Structure 1
Amino acid sequence: MAVWFITGAARGLGAEITRAALASGHSVVAAARDPRSVREAFPDAGAQLLPVALDVTDAGQVQAAVDAGVEAFGRIDVLVNNAGRGLLGAVEEASDAEVRAVYETNVFGLLSVTRAVLPLLRAQRSGHVVNLSSVGGFVSSPGWGIYTSTKFAVEGFSESMALELAPLGIGVTLVEPGYFRTDFLDSSSLHEAAVAIEDYAGGPAGAMRTTAEQVNHRQPGDPTKAGPAIVSVIDSGRAPLRLQLGSDCVASVEAKLVAVRTELDAWREVAASTDHDDVGAVAG
């Protein structure tokens, strides 16, 4: 059995991944801001579970949590970067401080944990890194521009990591969930831009603020199915680079692929009617 290190393990998808990993016989280093909440969530896990305190934006806590996991179980085989926070609002509405706070957790915090674990995986010449992205890491939408930009960043460096780590026997998978019935839309995870600009109120960004409130805990995806799906895919040894979860995610991805094809066709039309070599090169 493997040792899983899971961030944001006390609730949401993190808790469901933890539950599924334990049910599959794995040991889990379950990291959360309050480790007591982890033990309360899994009171019967016993020695199979190690709750550790972790704020991913605190480099000292990151290394301490990883060290504790190795001391308890001797190794780490699967890293699940699940901890994250959201920001809802039009791009212009988001302050510099609000943007930086989201990036500190979703991008820099994720990188900090990854840098702490990768030396162990490289020494073992085995392991897997699972980065929780989002359908928003593939296609953005009004009101989510800042949040999805963090997921676009995760997608970009995860693609590079997959190529860099494959020769060392380490896999990388991006999980792209659609809307699941977790507490992501609660105030504990989601923050709204403090400034609301009137010009956006009647448009799609303003409508998204209302929609987020209405769909909270009524999202189509069942998180109790997501955890086992993720664990089973990693356990299979054939995990893909991207794992899309939820029918709404698949539909959004397919729609964007159609849109990109339409854009390429438009460029070809431009290339056919212009003498500019650079445009022709772009259009193929």
Structure 2
Amino acid sequence: MKLFAFANQKGGVGKTTLAVHMAIHAHNMGFRTLLVDLDQQGSATFLATGDGDRHQTMDGTALDLWYPDRKIPVQTSPIFGFDFLQASAGLDAVDDDAAAAVLALRRLDTLEKADEGPGAFYHLVVVDCPPAPGVRQVAPLLIADKHIAPVTPDALGTQGLLSLVQTYTGHIRPDNPKLEFKVLINRVKANSATNLTIASALLEGFPDWVMPHQLYEREDVRKGLRLGKPYWEACRDDAQRDAWYQTFYSLLQDVPDDEDNPDSREVQEPDDAEEILTKQREGGEQ
């Protein structure tokens, strides 16, 4: 099992949208995929279900990971088909103990996909971390295989990246030497010379960390999700369609399946996605 943590210490960088796209792509490629929403705002839960109030509960959520006597309440996204652990508005209750959070997340190591029988462990767990630095951001990084850090190519984005690098090199990597740090430049404004210059400078300055594809700011990114599609299936820009697809395809390259054989993977599609998407669109944006 591989664990990818999407985390940044700045909001508004598209972290949740990218985490959900990662889960969609892995699922569509046939990997047993689990999305864990640790952000109490519940945006990933909303995108996975179409229900903007679903996280307003303490029952049957990711909080149950912290209680060893509770069953892990895995659900299946009725829109996209991947499994997920939903957020709870009360997740901040566990923010006082990093060691307990690590133990809680370690329960995912041996979690089996219920509808596939014994031994069907998840190939990939995607964690959507909250934007504020704290236990629910740090603990996943202490056990993750990849830390994907979305950044915007502007002054605030680069300032946030500096803070991330300091945290990664000074606090996380010494305790988790296997962790691979990847910076994903997101929400680039195509008509901004400053954005384009900063994006190029980041790639040139940190070639080992910064992913080569730059994802542009597009109104139809979230629109695609509301239609039940990843952006590369809804995008009309050939270059951006390729950039989005290749970004998530490349992240999956070292995630093995049962026999490391793509032909052995099967994808189950949800039955009632269209009805839920219609209700989600009628309810407006979040």
Q: Shorter-chain TM-score category?
A: 0.3 to 0.5
Query: Which fold has the larger relative contact order, with Cα–Cα distance below 8 Å and residues 6 or more apart in sequence?
Result: 2
Length-normalised TM-score, structure 2: 0.44
Please state which structure has a larger fraction of its residues in helix.
1
What TM-score comes out, normalization by structure 1 length? 0.44
Structure of greater Rg: 1
Structure with the largest fraction of strand? 1
